[in-house]
Amino acid sequence: MQVTLLHHTPLIICANAIRTCWQSFDKSDSGGEKDKELIDRVGNKFKHASTLEHLYYNFYIKGISRALLQELARHRMASLSVKSTRYTLKELKSEVEFTPKDIERAKKYLVFTDVAIVDEMSIKALENLRKILAQGISNDKAKYCLPESYKTELTWSVNARSLQNFLSLRSSKSALWEIRRLANNIYNALPEDHKYLFEHCINEV
């Protein structure tokens, strides 16, 4: 799994939005400590979390399963642009047969668990998909055979308020192991001067 932060909103944008309410622009320190404290006080401590929606983060996420993608889609206050199976399943057509022993080769396409029988069945599902594609079945029909473990990638944009909710829920030990890993990777990818807004959302396990 790889998480790359592509773009983020400077803190001063959020601070200016907050200062708009009181017309206190003269107290700004251009995104410095005063503005950071203001954002934390108003957005977190005073619970005026709508002000955090002025902060946006854009991530490129690679190597997650379609099972995780399904859970990620439940966080609706975010935008997802996902690798298309309609256009990209052709990558499998040139592969030779997959056997249960082809774990390293199958890792290009599958996310593995720590349960051997699950991973073995995932490889069998991958081989079934390869066979179908080799027969010339269209991607639109063949993709119905995709295993949940099949890897995908996406661009994900989310505002700070929604990201706090995501991190709070998905870093929990009760969350799916893979999305918990994603939550921690996303937090680690945040700009250092933004992390203080999300520290309280991360559940230590």
Domain termination residue (choose one: 150, 173, 193): 150
Query: From the candidates 19, 130, 161, 170, which is the catalytic residue?
Result: 170
Q: Is 170 a catalytic residue?
A: yes
Task: Looking at the structure, tell me whether residues 72 and 6 fall in a common domain.
Answer: yes
Both 15 and 68 in one domain: the answer is yes
156 and 141, same structural domain? no
For the chain, give the DSSP string: -EEEEEEE--HHHHHHHHHHHHT-GGG--SSSHHHHHHHIIIIIIS--GGGGGG-EEEEEEEEEEHHHHHHHTT--SEEEEE--HHHHGGGGTT-----TT-HHHHTTTB---S-HHHHHHHHHHHHHHHHHHHTT--HHHHGGG--TTBEEEEEEEEEHHHHHHHHHHHTSTTS-HHHHHHHHHHHHHS-GGGGGGTGGGPPP-
Provide the residue-wise pLDDT of the chain in tens; the chain has 205 residues. 999 999 999 999 999 999 998 888 888 888 789 989 999 899 888 878 999 999 999 999 999 999 999 999 999 889 999 999 988 898 898 899 999 889 999 999 999 998 999 999 999 999 999 999 999 999 999 999 999 999 999 999 999 999 999 999 999 999 999 999 999 999 999 999 999 999 999 986 5
Q: What pLDDT is recorded for position 104?
A: 94
The whole model's pTM is what? 0.92
Same domain, 72 and 162: yes
Name the domain count of the chain.
2
pLDDT value at position 32?
87
**Helices 177-189 & 160-170 angle (0-180, nearest 10):** 140
CATH number at 18 reads 3.30.1360.170
The whole-number pLDDT of residue 145 equals 93
**Which residue range is the domain that position 103 belongs to?**
87-150
Looking at residue 158, what is its pLDDT?
A: 98
Could you tell me if 12 and 74 lie in one domain?
Answer: yes
Q: Are residues 170 and 140 in the same domain?
A: no
Q: Which pLDDT belongs to residue 47?
A: 78
pLDDT of residue 31: 79
